[in-house]
Amino acid sequence: MISIAPAQTVGWEYNNLTKQTKENMKNLNHFEVITNNSYAYNVSDKVNNYITVANTAQTVTVPTGATVAVFSPSVVFYADFTGGTAVVPSVNVTDGTGMCYSPISRYISGISTFSIISPSVGVITIEFYSL
């Protein structure tokens, strides 16, 4: 018989934050505390939609001043934030140069472009914030 320990939730509770931290969170331009235990981004500065063509990389130009990108894809995609061209992995990459798999968000300050690619047709929506 195998015994499995119950999963632990990793994260933070708004109620456990200090009063100063809560005030600091309220002062962020694009971060709104909705209730004691949840938050949401405010309306983004820019929104771009990229129609993916299977296995064809696209270059994303970061809007001037943007520091955060939030991704909402309809398909699996890969991204390269290092200045290279994104590729759909077809072999093991074990030297640290692999592609990012369907990132949710990224801090992109100082990056002027990055590359995205999908193995299928779809849409990748990217919201840009200047935080």
Q: Please, are residues 54 and 120 in contact by the beta-carbon 8 Å criterion?
A: yes
Neighbours of 83 (CB within 10 A): 10
Spatial distance between the Cα atoms of 36 and 16, rounded to a whole number of angstroms: 10
pTM over 0.85: no
Q: Is the pLDDT of residue 101 over 70?
A: yes
Residue ranges, comma separated, of all CATH 2.60.120.10 domains in the chain are 46-91+98-129
Pair of tokens at residue 65:
């001043």
The mean-pLDDT minimum among 32-41, 60-69, 89-98 falls in: 32-41
Residue-wise pLDDT for 57-77, tens only, equals 999 999 999 999 999 999 999
List strands edge to edge, sheet with 46-52. Answer: 46-52, 122-129, 68-73, 105-107
Spatial distance between the Cα atoms of 84 and 66, rounded to a whole number of angstroms: 20
Spatial distance between the Cα atoms of 121 and 54, rounded to a whole number of angstroms: 5
CB within 8 Å of 57: residues ≥ 6 apart: 85, 86, 87, 115, 116, 117
Q: Which CATH class is domain 46-91+98-129?
A: mainly beta
Q: Please, are residues 36 and 22 in contact by the beta-carbon 8 Å criterion?
A: no
